[in-house]
A and B are shown apart, each in its own frame.
Chain A
Amino acid sequence: MTTALDTTLDVVADLRTRMARLEAGTTAPPLETHPALAGLVQLRAGAAYSVDSATLALALLAGPSRAGGWCGVVGVPDFGAEAAVALGVDLERTVLVPDAGDQWLEVTAALVDVATVVVVKPPGRVVPSAAEKLAARLRKRGAALVAWGDWPRCEVRLTTREPAWSGLGGGHGHLRARRLVVEAQRGTAPPRRGALWFPAEDQSYRPVEPAPSVPLAEGVA
């Protein structure tokens, strides 16, 4: 009796969220994002993001992974497991397909079915029609895609600028901390920039304080 009622309530709640999603247009549910990137980008289910460096890709994996989601990584044979763990990626819930060959798109689509966020390094140029098909799948499954490289019509393009390592001298010391500027380009709007410690001296990943994130013209989403 109770079970039947609960099921009905679940269905009603599910339908309501779906209606709300339809009414709200393109607003997709937000996914957990690494706190260091909080001022720059907010991961959303169903969207594709483009990054230009491995650390940023791992940082975008870390948010949903910390929240208990599964991660997929396709076409990245040089996955740095230790760096991923340092950022907060749970390897227990990480599926890695180092070399997917020609079938990388099919493999990515299959992993989108199971993972909350999938990192893919496309081996060549991506045809917009293929990206469209994948985007439909992403929206349906509520997953996010992080492309390491160019991706047609991506939501936000993250690029690293001015990396500055400290701790290394002329033959002595070792790499300790890196300060870099991450630029988030969203459509044609002016880019949002933020200086980050990636990592800081204490091996944490956080914005450089005080947060000098340039306010954005398009307003807060």
Chain B
Amino acid sequence: MTRVMALWCPDWPVVAALADEGQPTHLPAAVLHANIVQATNAAARTHGVRRGMRRRDAQSRCPELRVHPANPDRDARCFEPVLAAVEEQHPGVAPMRPGLAALRAPRRLRGGEPAAAALLAERLVGLGVWDSRVGVADELFTAEQAARRAAPQDCHVIAPGESVPFLRGLPVEAIDDGVEGREAVSLLRRLGLRTLGELADLPATAVRDRFGGPASTVAWVHRVVGGAGAVPLATRTPPPELACHVDFEPPLDSAETIAFSVRQTADRVVAGLAAQQLVCTEVRIEAYVEGADDPPSVREWLHPRWFTAVDLVDRLHWQLQGGFRAGDVRAPVNRVAFTPMTVVPDAVHADALWGGTDERVQRGIARVQGMLGHEAVVQPVLQGGRSPAQRQAFVPWGERPTGLRPASHPWPGAIPPPAPARVLATPWPAEVVTDGGRPVAVDDRGAVLGEPSRFRPDPTGGWHPVAAWAGPWPVEELWWDATPRRVARFQVIGVDGRAWLMTWDTGVWWTEAAYD
């Protein structure tokens, strides 16, 4: 019988945020999303900071709390080395979410499961992950719960067949996992159910009726606690040697020749992956030249679906074209290496065969990225904010937008529609003066000093008489900062009929946008 081992790194979003910025881990810190605390570390908890707290409550309990914005991509990225370290010791790791992974418990190790867990903890301490906990049980949910009850760097083993008694004793807060779980916990407590055992004693139909169908979290937990909870473990087996390279003798100096010569290698990469029923969604391509150890041309390519052999050759071709043109690659190339960075089971992408983004479009865009670089091609997205520039963001093509402000919230001080057609990437220094030639200003109370009469939207252009104006829309940005900025926005129309959005920022005028 297969036993499951769950590896849990508590407070992972905080650990990842601190590690990413190289900050010390013993100081209080929290990760916030939408001004609500998502995760904290132990130091912050001793000050009374809890998950679900509002930012101002958390900061009032612990003024020196360092807050970091939530970033799931960062959490996942920082968890990769941990997964790799675990994979070195135990093949077949299934990452569940950043901070939590599952693996098959080793059966024939001397010292049994606790010894395996100790080895794992030791390996992770070597990586700088001090707090890791391991739970071992018959199935995944129980193993995860056991890990949550283990001491730091320790292991909690639930003996075979003991899962149900263990789970029955757990408080209902154990299913507090995400928004749905939190609501369910609240409802269960109001129903007077305090442990999972009490939940399990309810008839299955009653649970399903009350908690939204057999697919809901509570119904699922009810089944697991009832003893029917074998959760299949989808493993991510580390591919033994997926990276392939090809050497050229003599070295080649034309992108076309090289692309032609790597076709077989690209086929081998894809075939090697396919043999393990994997596909690659991120690949690193390196081109080496003679006389240099470091490859002069390295780029990591993402694919919205997965790379075929033709895709790999195309990416290499574009990368080399760009490299030769930019002068990065000065000598003939003697080796090209493909290293798959992210692999997924091909079943995950099976449904994308007949849908998803047009492949032709992706290839065309990737070609432009090859010419100018990954960040040069962007997709505009909308977000919340006060100024037009804050209300939009440019996301590099192929990346997921993170950290966007919600557009649905009210943004007091925002300018009512219509939106300006030109939003300047960097504001132009401008001037707005009164009849007498004195600069127009805004006082501490937000009143306009002087009537705008002439303005100059950009420093090289001419002066225009003001036909009409409105404002100020005052915004006190970052008033809690040491040097608060007092910003007031104005709409100004010149006599030529063109309208501008201008900003008065503590004494200086800027042109922010044009209603072109």
Please give the residue numbers on chain A whose beta carbons come within 8 Å of chain B beta carbons, in ascending order. 53-55, 58, 70, 77-86, 91-92, 94-101, 103, 106-107, 110-111, 113-115, 162-165, 168-176, 178, 180, 199, 203
- In the assembled complex, 19 residue pairs joining A and B whose CB atoms fall closer than 8 Å, in A order, are A78-B423, A79-B423, A80-B419, A80-B421, A83-B421, A85-B382, A91-B381, A95-B379, A96-B377, A114-B364, A115-B364, A165-B468, A170-B468, A171-B471, A172-B470, A173-B470, A174-B491, A175-B491, A203-B417
CB-CB under 8 A for A171 and B516, given A103-B372, A163-B497: no
9 cross-chain pairs, A with B, having the tightest CB-CB distances, nearest first: A114-B364, A82-B419, A81-B392, A54-B421, A163-B497, A81-B380, A54-B516, A168-B468, A77-B425
Assembly CA distance A127 to B365 (angstroms)? 25
Known: A81-B382, A91-B379. A174 touches B493 (CB 8 A): no
Besides A163-B498, A170-B451, 12 more A-B contacts (Cβ < 8 Å) are: A54-B422, A54-B514, A79-B423, A82-B417, A94-B379, A115-B361, A164-B497, A168-B499, A173-B470, A174-B491, A175-B515, A203-B417
Which among B363, B364, B377, B380 has the highest number of chain A CB atoms within 10 Å? B380
A107 proximity list for chain B (CB < 8 A): 368, 371-372
A169 touching B421 by the CB < 8 A rule? Answer: no
CB-CB contacts of B497-516 with A at 8 A, as 1s and 0s?
Answer: 11100000000000001111
Contact residue among A165, A169, A203 (Cβ-Cβ distance under 8 Å from B499): A165
Q: Does B331 contact A (CB under 8 A)?
A: no
Give chain B residues whose Cβ lies under 8 Å from the Cβ of A58: 421
For residue A107, which residue of chain B has the nearest CB? B368
- Which residues on B are within 8 Å of A, measured CB to CB? 358, 360-361, 363-365, 367-368, 371-372, 376-382, 388, 391-392, 394, 397, 415-425, 448, 451, 468-471, 491, 493, 496-499, 513-516
Q: A99-B376, A163-B498 are in contact. Are A169 and B368 (CB under 8 A)?
A: no
A164 to chain B, nearest CB (A): 6
B378 touches A113 (CB 8 A): no
Contact A174/B416 with A54-B516, A80-B513, A81-B382 known, Cβ cut-off 8 Å: yes
Given A91-B380, A111-B364, A164-B497, do A171 and B448 touch, yes or no (CB 8 Å)? Answer: yes
Contacts of A203 in B (CB 8 A): 417-418
Quick check: A162 and B421 within 8 Å, CB to CB?
no
Is A96 a contact of B470 with CB atoms below 8 Å?
Answer: no
A203 to B417, CA, bound (A): 8
Cβ distance A36 to chain B, nearest Cβ, rounded Å: 14
Q: Which residues in B have their C-beta under 8 angstroms from that of A81? A: 380-382, 391-392, 423
Instruction: Give the nearest-CB partner of B391 in chain A.
Output: A82
Query: Which B residues are in CB contact (< 8 Å) with A114?
Result: 358, 360-361, 363-365
Do B415 and A174 touch across chains, with their CB atoms under 8 A apart?
yes
A83 touches B470 (CB 8 A): no
Given A80-B422, A85-B382, A98-B394, A103 and B371 contact (CB-CB distance below 8 Å): yes
**C-alpha gap A55/B421 in the complex (Å):** 6
Asked if A95 and B397 make an inter-chain contact with CB atoms under 8 angstroms apart, the answer reads yes
| Contact status B469-A171, CB under 8 Å | yes
Cα distance, A81 to B378, chains bound together (Å): 12
Which residues from B are CB-within-8-Å of A113? 360, 364
**Which residue in chain B gives the minimum CB-CB distance to A112?**
B364
Closest partner residue, chain A, to B423 (CB atom)? A80
- The distance from the CB of A129 to the nearest CB of chain B, in whole angstroms, is 21
CB neighbours of B497 from chain A (8 A): 162-165, 180
A174 neighbours in B (Cβ, 8 Å): 415-416, 470, 491
B420: A residues at CB distance < 8 A: 80, 82-83
State A176–B499 Cα separation when bound (angstroms).
11
B364 cross-chain contacts in A, Cβ below 8 A:
110-111, 113-115
Neighbour of A70 across the interface among B361, B367, B372, B422, CB < 8 A: B361
Most chain A beta-carbon neighbours within 10 Å: one of B358, B394, B470: B470
Cβ–Cβ contact B516 & A55, under 8 A: yes
A84 CA to B388 CA, complexed, in Å? 12
Given A80-B420, A80-B422, answer yes or no on A175-B499 (Cβ-Cβ < 8 Å): yes
* Minimum CB–CB distance for B356 against chain A, Å: 13
A18 to B378, CA, bound (A): 35
In the complex, what residues of B have CB within 8 A of residue A86's CB? 417-419
